[in-house]
Structure 1
Amino acid sequence: MRIWIARPEPGATRTALRLTGLGHDPLVAPVLAMVATDDAMPVGPFDAVLVTSANAVAALAAWAARQDGVAVPVFCVGSRTAWAAREAGLPQVRNARGDAAALARLVQGTLPAGGRLLHLAGADRKAEPAASLIAAGYAVTVHVAYAMNAVPRLPIPVAQALGDTGGRALHAALHYSRRSAETALALAISAGCGGAFRALTHYCLSADVAAPLVAAGSITHFVAAQPSEESILARLSALT
C-alpha cells in the first residue's frame, strides 16, 4: 500500500523506514517544517520541565546546560519525546506514555501542588497540560521554543500520486497532529485534489487529529487506540 507521510522531519523518514519494513510503499512529503524561535528562555528556578514534543528537546538541552549542574526533572508526553530527551543527556526523564492529559496526571502524581513548572511548547499549542496544572495549583510558565510553518503548496509528488490511477497511486495517509492534518487537507483542496485526498484512508494518532478530516467528509479513517506510532503501525502491520 502506498502511504503518504505528511508529518515533519526528522520523524517522517523514521516512519518511512518502519513502513518499508512492514512491506508498504511510503511517500515522504511533510506539509510542516520546524523553525526554532531562539527566544530567550524564562528565568527560573523551576521544579520541573514539561515537554510535549521532541521538537522542543534542543531548546531543553540548551537550557539544562545553563543550570550549573542542577538536574531538573523532565516530564515528557510520550516515548519518542522521552527517548529524545535521554539522548540529549537529560538524566531525570519521566514518560507519561500518552497525551497532554496523561502528562498533567503524571505531574500531579509526582510533584506537590504549588511547584513552578516550565512548559517548552510550540507556537501552535493546545490548552493542555497547562490548563489542568494551573487549576490544580501549579505555576506554569510557557516558553515557545519552536514553530511549525506550513509549506506553501502541496508537494509535487503528492499531487502527482493523488492524480494517478495506476500503480503509483496513493492509498492512505498518516497524520500525527491536527495541524498537519488540517494543512494537508487545505493544500490538497488548493491544488484541486480535495476529492482524491478525502478518498484516501487516513490513519490518525487520535480523534482530535482526525476531527478536521471527518468534518471535511473523509469517511474512511482509522484512529489509534493509543496516541502512539506503535498503535498505528500495528494496524498497518495487520494489512500486509
Structure 2
Amino acid sequence: MRIWIARPEPGATRTAERLVGMGHVPLVAPVLVVEANDASPPQGRFDGVLVTSANALRQASRWRHLHDVPVFAVGARSAALARESGFSSVRNAEGDAVALAALVRREVSPGSSLLHAVGEDRKAEPGASLTEAGFRVTTFVAYGARPLASLPAEVAMAFGGPGALTGMLHYSRRSAATACELSMSAGYGGAFAALRHYCLSADVAAPLAQAGIAPYFVSEQANEDALLAGLKSGF
C-alpha cells in the first residue's frame, strides 16, 4: 500500500522507515510543524516529571536542572528520549494518559509535586485525575504544533494520480482533524474519505467520525506497534 504519514517530524521519517521494512510505500507529508517554546522549565523542587509526548523534550539542554527528578513517560519513545536527554530515572507507562496516571499513583505519594510537560494543544489527562487524587501538578507548555496553511502538494498529486494513496496513519487527534480539513478545503474530501484510515486510538479517530468517515482500523493499544499491526488486516 501507499500510505500517507501526516504526523510531524522527526516521528514521520521513523515511521516511514518501518513501513518500508514492511513492504509498504510511505508518503511523508506532515500537516503539523512542531516548534519548541522559548521558555525553560520552572525551577523548584519536583517529585516527578510527566512526559506525554517526546516533543516536550526536544530542547534537552533546558532540562538539566531536573535530571535527578524521576520521569514518568507515557510510552517507549518518550521514555527513550528522556534517557537520551540525561534523566537518570525513567519509568515507562507503556500506554496512554490513563496508564501514566495509574503508574504515578502507584509510585508517588499523594501531595507530591509533579511537573507536567505539555504542548499548547493538550488534553485534561493525566493532570486532572492526578490533581483530584491529591497531587500538586504544575503545567509547563514546552512546545506548540502549527498547522500548515494548505494541503501539501505531494498529497494533492497522490490523490487519484499514478500510484495513488491507499491508506493513512493517524497518530493524534489534531493531526487527523487537520489532514481532514486541509483535504476537504483543497477539494479532495472524497479521495480522503476513501482512504483506509488507521488510528492510534478511539480519541484519535474522533475527528474522522465527526466528518462522517469510518476508520478502517482503530488500535486497542495506543502505541505504534499496535497501530502498524493493523496494516496486516484485510490482506
User: TM-score w.r.t. structure 1 length?
Assistant: 0.94
What CA deviation, in whole Å up to 9, does each residue of 1:77-135 have, x standing for no partner?
Answer: 01111011112221100000001111011000000000000001000000000000000
CA RMSD of aligned residues (A): 1.3
1:154-173 equivalences in 2 (<5 Å): 154-164=151-161, 166=162, 168-173=163-168
| Alpha-carbon distance in 2 for matches of 1:17, 1:222 | 21
Does the 8 Å contact 2:64/2:86 carry over to 1? no
Answer yes or no: is 1:180 the counterpart of 2:211: no
Does the 8 Å contact 1:5/1:27 carry over to 2? yes
In the alignment, what sits opposite 2:80?
83
Deviation for aligned residue 1:232: 1.4
Number of matched pairs? 235
Q: Secondary structure at the match of 1:65?
A: helix
In the alignment, what sits opposite 2:20?
20
In the alignment, what sits opposite 1:125?
122
Deviation for aligned residue 1:239: 5.7
| Alpha-carbon distance in 2 for matches of 1:237, 1:94 | 31
| Alpha-carbon distance in 2 for matches of 1:35, 1:233 | 26
Q: Secondary structure at the match of 2:182?
A: helix
Answer yes or no: is 1:213 the counterpart of 2:214: no
Does the 8 Å contact 1:22/1:237 carry over to 2? no
Q: Secondary structure at the match of 1:94?
A: strand
Does the 8 Å contact 1:133/1:140 carry over to 2? yes
Answer yes or no: is 1:73 the counterpart of 2:74: no
Does the 8 Å contact 2:48/2:113 carry over to 1? yes
1:101–1:32 distance in 2 versus 1, CA, 3 Å = same
Q: Which amino acid aligns with 2:188?
A: C
Does the 8 Å contact 1:163/1:193 carry over to 2? no
Deviation for aligned residue 1:220: 4.1
Q: Which amino acid aligns with 2:118?
A: A
Does the 8 Å contact 1:199/1:220 carry over to 2? no
Deviation for aligned residue 1:43: 2.5
1:1-240 equivalences in 2 (<5 Å): 1-59=1-59, 61-67=60-66, 71-164=68-161, 166=162, 168-237=163-232
Q: Give unpaired runs (5+ residues) of structure 1.
A: none
What CA deviation, in whole Å up to 9, does each residue of 1:54-74 have, x standing for no partner?
Answer: 001134x3343125xx61000
Does the 8 Å contact 2:199/2:215 carry over to 1? no
| Alpha-carbon distance in 1 for matches of 2:62, 2:91 | 18
Q: Which amino acid aligns with 1:27?
A: L
What CA deviation, in whole Å up to 9, does each residue of 1:3-37 have, x standing for no partner?
Answer: 00000000000000000000001000000011111
Does the 8 Å contact 2:6/2:31 carry over to 1? yes
| Alpha-carbon distance in 2 for matches of 1:66, 1:139 | 20
The percent identity for this pair of structures is 58
| Alpha-carbon distance in 1 for matches of 2:62, 2:4 | 35
Following TM superposition, the consecutive aligned residue runs of length 4 or more in structure 1 with deviations greater than 6 angstroms are none
What CA deviation, in whole Å up to 9, does each residue of 1:192-231 have, x standing for no partner?
Answer: 0011101111000000000110121212421012101000
User: TM-score w.r.t. structure 2 length?
Assistant: 0.96
| Alpha-carbon distance in 1 for matches of 2:133, 2:173 | 27
Q: Secondary structure at the match of 1:141?
A: strand
